Amino acid sequence: MKTENEDYPVYQSIVLKDAAPYQYMKVCLELENKSTKVIAVDFKQFIITGLKSLHGEVGAALQFDVLKYDEDTLTAFLRVSKSGLVKLWSSLTLLGRYNKQSCAFRVLQVSPFLLSLTGNSRELQLD
């Protein structure tokens, strides 16, 4: 039996808030003409153009990576620093023309963890 003078172990809960340095985005480009093909280089350049038009040269210098791009579905996984997420997202939202045709970026998912973008409960199909 312990007395009042004995020390009890101290447990401490540590929570790391906003510890992830990057944010990951799953985005899809929807074009008016569904048969238009966009290669990965043009896809990234289109995003840089949007950053430059909204945020100027400083916005165009924002570091982001296209981790994976599917030319058939025009879907990509982007990585950006957490401080640049709002700039990137806002520029994607305002892009409306690609090669003289209407377009729109759809931000499907955003997460500080890349693994969480691999599955989506909304697209889950049970057999």
What is the residue whose two structure tokens read 């949007």? 50
Kind and range of the H or E element at 54? helix 40-60
Provide the pLDDT for residue 116.
82
Provide the pLDDT for residue 6.
66
In whole angstroms, what is the distance from residue 91 CA to residue 67 CA?
19
In this structure, are residues 123 and 91 in contact, taking their beta carbons and an 8 Å threshold? Answer: no
Summarised one tens digit per residue, pLDDT across range 4-32 is 656 777 777 766 676 788 999 999 999 99
Q: 51-64: buried (b, 16+ CB within 10 Å) or exposed (e) per residue?
A: bbebbeeebbebeb
Summarised one tens digit per residue, pLDDT across range 64-120 is 999 999 999 999 999 999 999 999 999 999 999 998 999 999 999 999 988 888 776
Q: Pick one of 2.10.69.10, 3.30.70.3250, 3.30.465.10, 3.10.400.10 as the CATH number of 22-112.
A: 3.30.70.3250
Q: What are phi and psi of 96, to 5 degrees?
A: -130, -5
State the distance between the two ends of the chain, measured CA to CA, in whole angstroms. Answer: 58
Longest dimension (CA), the chain: 81
